[in-house]
């Protein structure tokens, strides 16, 4: 997804978009415990809003209705990203994505900080960025990609259409460690070596239906409310495919057009006022 914001010399504003795993296959586990994945990812035109400016010392301000539960200490990936770049900056993030929701929000925020500091100072982003989190490399790319290994192997994917989607989260953070605790099989089959190209949105949704998210069932076992979200979303008129993103608990539905997606989002908000719901476009 292109950055639509201009970058002044000393300050940058950035959209940190939601990452959506259209398919996520767990295909192995390394000796050090890290799981190996094969995942097809696209990014939404909706996300957190991050601003970064040079400062005498590094600081972080978190605001927005999704700010509850977001740490502001050294455990926050934004602060760790600034430390990695070794540049003191003042950072502000308006949280619009749920916390621990399978949308890569923290990684996307960190990627925004890395990119902002690189653009402002001219410093290269170090390869050690992968150590911030498995989703950081793909969030740096911000476009349709296939991610493999533990997330360090990111390959751009061309020929995919934009997808109209609705993202739904029940408002309960789902710790990744709890999801993997329920994962029974860790050596599943990967995605096909050759991914589809030139399909329209309906055709791509049909193909995605033959793929999987191997963390979906474990996440539902860890947090049964995800099953309720999944079932409710799947029954919305015009829904082509329902799946969970990442390790949960956000589920997404795909639709043939923007109007149908927005209608579904409105219906879901009305019927489930405690859920976080947004219609968005996933861009290739």
For residue 117, cis peptide bond before it (omega within 30 degrees of 0): no
Amino acid 174: pLDDT: 86
The CATH number of residue 19's host domain is: 3.30.230.10
Query: Is pLDDT above 70 for 9?
Result: no
Residue range 172-189, pLDDT digits in tens: 888 888 999 999 999 999
Residues 6+ positions from 8 with CB-CB distance below 8 Å:
none
Residue range 118-143, pLDDT digits in tens: 999 999 999 999 999 999 999 999 99
pLDDT band at 69 (very low <50, low <70, confident <90, very high): confident
Q: What residue numbers bound the domain in which 121 lies?
A: 11-155
Amino acid 30: pLDDT: 94
Q: Are residues 150 and 16 in the same domain?
A: yes
Options 38, 48, 109, 135, the catalytic residue = 135
The CATH number of residue 170's host domain is: 3.30.70.890
Q: Are residues 65 and 93 in the same domain?
A: yes
The answer to whether residue 135 is catalytic is yes
Question: Total domain count for the chain?
Answer: 2
Residues 6+ positions from 245 with CB-CB distance below 8 Å:
19, 20, 21, 101, 102, 103, 167, 213, 251, 252
Percent helix, strand and coil across the chain, each rounded to 5?
30, 30, 40
Domain C-terminal end among 138, 155, 172: 155
**Tokens standing for residue 227:** 């099953």
Residue range 139-168, pLDDT digits in tens: 999 999 999 999 999 999 999 999 999 999
Q: Are residues 163 and 194 in the same domain?
A: yes
Amino acid 38: pLDDT: 98
Query: Is pLDDT above 60 for 3?
Result: no
What is 14-70 written as a DSSP string? EEEEEEEEEEEEEEEE-TTSPEEEEEEEEEEEEEEEEEEEE-SS-EEEEESTT-TT-
Average pLDDT in the chain: 94
Q: Are residues 39 and 142 in the same domain?
A: yes
Options 13, 19, 38, 95, the catalytic residue = 19
Identify whether 214 is part of a domain. yes
Residue range 206-226, pLDDT digits in tens: 999 999 999 999 999 999 999
pLDDT band at 284 (very low <50, low <70, confident <90, very high): low
Q: Are residues 214 and 149 in the same domain?
A: no
Residue range 80-128, pLDDT digits in tens: 999 999 999 999 999 999 988 999 999 999 999 999 999 999 999 999 9
pLDDT band at 10 (very low <50, low <70, confident <90, very high): low
Whether the Cβ atoms of residue 51 and residue 13 lie closer than 8 Å to each other: yes
**Tokens standing for residue 111:** 């990627």
pLDDT band at 53 (very low <50, low <70, confident <90, very high): very high
Domain C-terminal end among 155, 186, 205: 155
Indicate the DSSP class of residue 76. S
The answer to whether residue 257 is catalytic is no
Sign of CA dihedral 154, 155, 160, 161: positive
With a pLDDT cut of 90, the percent of the chain lying above it is: 89
Amino acid 11: pLDDT: 64
Identify whether 6 is part of a domain. no
Domain C-terminal end among 155, 182, 207: 155
pTM exceeds 0.85, yes or no: yes
Identify whether 3 is part of a domain. no
Q: Are residues 125 and 167 in the same domain?
A: no
Amino acid 99: pLDDT: 87
Amino acid 175: pLDDT: 87
Indicate the DSSP class of residue 128. G
């Amino acid at each position: 997804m292109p950055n639509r914001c201009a970058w002044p010399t000393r300050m940058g504003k950035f959209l940190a978009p939601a990452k959506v795993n259209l398919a996520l296959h767990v295909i192995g586990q390394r000796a050090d415990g890290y799981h190996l994945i094969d995942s097809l990812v696209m990014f939404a035109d909706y996300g957190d809003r991050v601003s970064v400016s040079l400062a005498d010392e590094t600081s972080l301000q978190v605001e927005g209705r999704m700010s509850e539960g977001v740490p502001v200490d050294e455990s926050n990936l934004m602060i760790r990203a600034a430390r990695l770049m070794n540049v003191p900056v003042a950072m502000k993030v308006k949280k619009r994505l749920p916390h621990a929701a399978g949308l890569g929000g923290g990684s996307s925020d960190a990627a925004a900080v890395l990119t902002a500091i690189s653009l402002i100072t001219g410093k290269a982003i170090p390869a050690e960025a992968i150590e911030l989190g498995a989703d950081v490399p793909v969030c740096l790319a911000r476009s349709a990609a296939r991610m493999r290994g533990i997330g360090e192997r990111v390959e751009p994917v061309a020929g995919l259409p934009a997808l109209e989607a609705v993202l739904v989260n029940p408002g309960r953070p789902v710790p990744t460690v709890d999801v993997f605790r329920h994962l029974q099989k860790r050596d599943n089959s990967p995605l096909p070596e050759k991914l589809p190209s030139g399909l329209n949105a309906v055709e791509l949704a049909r193909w995605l239906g033959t793929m999987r998210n191997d963390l979906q069932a474990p996440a539902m076992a860890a947090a049964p409310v995800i099953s309720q979200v999944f079932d409710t979303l799947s029954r919305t008129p015009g829904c082509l495919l329902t799946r969970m993103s990442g390790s949960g608990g956000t589920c997404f539905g795909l639709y043939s057009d923007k109007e149908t997606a927005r209608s579904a989002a409105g219906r879901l908000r009305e019927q489930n006022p405690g859920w976080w719901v947004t219609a968005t476009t996933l861009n290739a």
